[in-house]
Chains A and B, each alone.
Chain A
């Protein structure tokens, strides 16, 4: 769409914005502002503002394109205005801020304006408006400016309360000052001033109405706020027109539109008339402690999703919400969940929330509990262990209304197993909604395929289930939605035109800075922005970060990515918390050591507490303790899960300057950071980081402490690496594709023989299991081979594979037909496929090699005792299972399969040995230090062995112990969980599921004296009620440290 003014000034606008970006970058980086042409910025801002007014006057036309033009023009005007120096006169400054803020709101950048205004307040630059002057006109103008600025700033309830107070103060002092003020003018000017006051009174009242509305959702008994606002604005505009108030008139018109936008953004508007549970939730969000955390309005993508695209009014079976990172997808999901729960309230329907990583499962559970428990909703999570132990089984079967779960958080793998084991039926209530977080992981290899097949299974088997898929922005959201919902689907995509804050992405590399002496060269680090498709700040020139003699004195010394990353992190951390990433845990340790410079003076109590926790778990000499004293945290798979969670907690609270982490953190961060430094762009095992993950972490950059600019810096040691980094950043995210296509291509001719494929390509296991499961589910029909194409149509990938590569598709189809006739053969243990999560081939493998392992082998006491060899035998069998082999062999460091070693590690683990002891005993090689051993132990034990063995043992038990009487089998149900959690008793398992750290679980279980049949929520409550003294009695001097750690992990302590 063209516009008479915007078209002619396009070039000028672009140049002015570029200049504003440059200024902002310098300002945010704490440098003195370079010289710039203020007038150019002013002129472009003025022109944009006129264009906004022009489009606003035309608003009844209400064309989407016009709205977009208006939004962009207003947003750009804001970007320019905020870079201009504030006028020295306080009233002029206030007016300038108000103009900019109003434009920000119209440009969907209200959140930026709010942060900007707050930061001005914090840095004492807030204009000192003459709110108490005896000059009534001046006082009214000051009040007007103040209240509307507060409505944009929304600093918790205090701003809202101040608006009401100030407007009330106008009313109570009018009598005292107004008459005298008006009579000081010549009659004609007195009339003009009277009209100005009338306009201001209406605008003040409108502010008062809006302030009431954002918190209460209702004004004078009416939920319809717009007519009330309109009437005041119309009158104010009329008064401005009549009095020819050329300053107030245009501002009033913009304010009118901004007020409408503010009302539209209000949580209350977005969620109006959905249901009482949603209303209650909104009330909770708004009231939240009446503090700064109160939430009054939604972000633009949330507004567009919930209100404009009507997600809450929709009863579509499948909805894909595809939004950029940091758009607040969780809140969107929360509303949708409440709606689904309400829809199935009569039958106590439940929601499954699927999150791809353990860390995210924990984070989501914490957040949902915090937000929904006040509504009386029970939130539970299941562990990622590939089995349902007794504790979980009891929780799932809970039948009391108050204590039964309504939302279950799980990893897709676990949920897949649950469904195939028939848990939906056992639960006995309908699965009403499946929320898939980070749904783009559907394209990632084996895990992706499993997720895809899980969704296909749910879609076919759970009649009432609806789907909500949350993804970062993808191109083909509609296609994905259609896959699950057919015609009854919807996609809500907000492209990359909205960003939560400004961001600069670039490459840091060393450049020659002249000779130091005869032989060495000096250097400096230059940051060069990279142009991206996502409206990031792009500078024409490089920006120098200087050098750091302590880390590299010369150019040649600086040419090492770890050093470069450390220098960059040191430079960036002054702006706010930085995440510095490297590819492997050992690199991360040395990166952290390089980053550490000065000790933190007055170390915060939170950090001291974590130091004590780390010391208790891993010893006082563990380097993390010292790093924490320097404000540096560490996060990688070699650390116990609880310590990783505490690192996230510290970092999120702003207690750490830098978090050194492996690149894997890119998948699991859902809190803002100020800066991101990347020494590597691949994952610990060498796979490149996919663009979605990069944009996830890049999307988190910004919005911390004073600054609002997120800086993402990739370091590169030389020109070649610069070029590679540039390519990496430029990789586009595109369509969401099924992993099936890539797996089929990679397997080549092997797909013709699905019977053997799992031995060479274990990632095909889930596909084979899907075939078996569907076959069973359909009642093992004779003509399954004929039905197979129909079944495959339920997947996202098969149709696409057929369209894109028909040869592979037909080869695969042939393979499937052969496989189907194989599984349909007599005596196949198909049921075990669903209960174990193994492919048929793997089950057969186990059966062949089980040796003496039988029902009698399963003795919980004996199995983990040192003298017994049964576990060794079992691990030997498991090492033959394709699904497990990879992980188990990694634990052994690629050496020959050695079940003995694995069994010995597991025994120490289950019997409660300290981590340091296990590391020393099993993971320390000659000449290696303790930290290296601990890291390896962590990576292998928590990351692989515990999880894989508990799954394997569970499956092995299902295969070899089915003859045991049920009672005995129930007693064994927790055995795999012992391995998963590293504890030896049922009670300790329960506490581990509730988040209690391993070292504390057993002693605490004794203190609690748990009895059989106690529900999980009841136990959590008892746990929460334990005093510091109780914990100390159970655990000794570290009791209070563990208590606090648990409170953080559980989400009680924020």
Chain B
């Protein structure tokens, strides 16, 4: 698949546990040239850089035929988008890590999607397929970044926005996943990902909606402590059942999260 996955992500395990179908692990990221290369390579590659406003402007063509006005639309589509890169960078990092270490393939790595200003899909932060035996299963993930000096940080809980809740939703909400699959289908059809999609889709829909891999990724710039994941992992273990597998990963960065965009730099699509 894409070349970037061959670059490795330099890290060492800080802790790790398994309970039923849930695994959680903390990874300390090693600073150095290897990390820089990974950041500037695979991570930067999936991070959109400039607003492709000409692509958006294209969308106005033909609108006059509908009899609708276009002034307000034109303004909005042409507007500058201020930097909001922290979380986008976090997602890009998480995706790259999943590809590098977790057998996940993401069907987004093509030029067209890269240039898209809408970094992630509504519904799930990460949508892909995980290699599993000779086949693939659906891989869905949620990403959170937190610099909070508290273990676990608040982003792990919370009724609607918390990581745990989001994963629960992915595990149970047929509507969301059905939409994601319907959305993905025309985009993978006829591509190298078609077989993976078909397999993942079949496995999901024929398993009582359980055969999928769920990932929760927490990007941290604090001291690694298992308390970040343990409670959430335990709770998920009690609600999820095989063949669902769930993996919570905390990535402990060697520098503040706010440095992420800078570290990624102007690589990739710039």
Contacts and interface: CB of A to CB of B under 8 A. Distances in A.
A46 B116 contact: no
Interface stretch (A47-55, A485-493, A1024-1032): A47-55
A273 interface: no
Given A50-B182, A232-B66, A43 B201 contact: no
B63 A201 contact: yes
B72 A182 contact: yes
A244 B72 contact: no
A541 to B, nearest CB: 25
B179 to A, nearest CB: 5
B201 A5 contact: yes
B174 interface: yes
B60 interface: yes
A355 interface: no
B82 interface: yes
B179 A198 contact: no
Given A39-B174, A238-B59, A197 B73 contact: yes
Contacts of A46: 174, 178, 181, 205
Interface string B34-65: 00000000000000000000011001111101
Contacts, number: 139
A175 interface: yes
A244 B205 contact: no
B116 A47 contact: no
B122 A198 contact: no
B198 interface: yes
Interface centre among A12, A58, A205 (most CB of B within 10 A): A205
A231 B185 CA distance: 22
Interface centre among B55, B69, B117, B205 (most CB of A within 10 A): B205
A171 B182 contact: no
B59 A242 contact: yes
B76 A190 contact: yes
A247 interface: yes
A191 B77 contact: yes
Contacts of A47: 205
Contacts of B116: 242, 244
B128 to A, nearest CB: 15
A781 to B, nearest CB: 71
Contact of B183 (A5, A8, A182, A249): A249
A205 B65 contact: yes
Given A4-B198, A53-B185, A250-B182, A194 B68 contact: no
B189 A246 contact: no
Given A12-B206, A182-B72, A182-B73, A188 B182 contact: no
B181 A231 contact: no
B13 interface: no
Interface string B218-259: 000000000000000000000000000000000000000000
B162 interface: no
Given A5-B202, A195-B59, A179 B179 contact: no
A429 interface: no
A250 B82 CA distance: 30
Contacts of A232: 62, 65-66
B32 interface: no
Contact of A43 (B72, B82, B189, B209): B209
B66 A246 contact: no
B179 A247 contact: yes
Interface in A417-462: none
A266 to B, nearest CB: 21
B178 A50 contact: yes
A202 interface: yes
B84 A50 contact: no
B66 A205 contact: yes
A813 B173 CA distance: 76
B133 interface: no
B117 A191 contact: yes
A118 interface: no
B106 interface: no
B59 A246 contact: no
Interface string A876-905: 000000000000000000000000000000
A255 interface: no
A367 B123 CA distance: 56
Contacts of B61: 235
B186 interface: yes
Given A43-B174, A246-B122, A50 B185 contact: yes
A81 to B, nearest CB: 12
A336 B53 CA distance: 56
Interface centre among A46, A190, A205, A231 (most CB of B within 10 A): A46
A12 B202 CA distance: 12
Nearest to B183: A246
Contact of A9 (B63, B71, B73, B206): B206
A42 interface: yes
A747 interface: no
B206 A246 contact: no
Given A43-B174, A187-B81, A249-B183, A4 B118 contact: no
Contacts of A205: 65-68
Interface in B61-95: 61-63, 65-69, 71-73, 75-77, 79-82, 84
B100 interface: no
Contacts of B73: 178, 182, 194, 197-198
A170 B60 CA distance: 17
Nearest to A242: B59
A943 interface: no
B121 interface: yes
B185 A170 contact: no
A198 B60 contact: yes
Contacts of A42: 174
A198 B59 contact: yes
Contacts of A197: 73
Given A202-B66, A242-B59, A250 B179 contact: yes
Contacts of A12: 206
A239 interface: yes
Given A5-B202, A50-B181, A198-B73, A187 B174 contact: no
A1002 B208 CA distance: 77
A1049 interface: no
Contacts of A183: 76
A263 B60 CA distance: 26
Given A4-B198, A188-B117, A246-B121, A175 B69 contact: yes
B59 A187 contact: no
A709 interface: no
B66 A204 contact: yes
A246 B60 CA distance: 20
Contacts of A274: none
Contact of A246 (B79, B84, B179): B179
B180 interface: yes
A57 B185 contact: yes
A928 B183 CA distance: 77
Given A178-B72, A246-B179, A201 B56 contact: no
12 contacts: A9-B202, A46-B178, A54-B185, A175-B69, A179-B71, A188-B81, A201-B68, A205-B68, A235-B61, A243-B118, A244-B116, A246-B180
Given A43-B208, A242-B56, 16 more contacts: A46-B181, A49-B182, A50-B182, A179-B72, A187-B79, A187-B80, A187-B81, A188-B118, A195-B77, A202-B62, A205-B68, A235-B59, A239-B59, A244-B118, A246-B182, A250-B183
Interface of B: 55-56, 59-63, 65-69, 71-73, 75-77, 79-82, 84, 116-118, 121-123, 174, 178-183, 185-187, 189, 198, 201-202, 205-206, 208-209
Interface of A: 4-5, 8-9, 12, 39, 42-43, 46-47, 49-50, 53-54, 57-58, 170-171, 174-175, 178-179, 182-183, 187-188, 190-195, 197-198, 201-202, 204-205, 231-232, 235, 238-239, 241-244, 246-247, 249-250, 253
What 9 A-B pairs are tightest by C-beta distance, nearest first? A250-B182, A205-B66, A246-B183, A179-B72, A46-B178, A201-B68, A47-B205, A194-B76, A201-B66
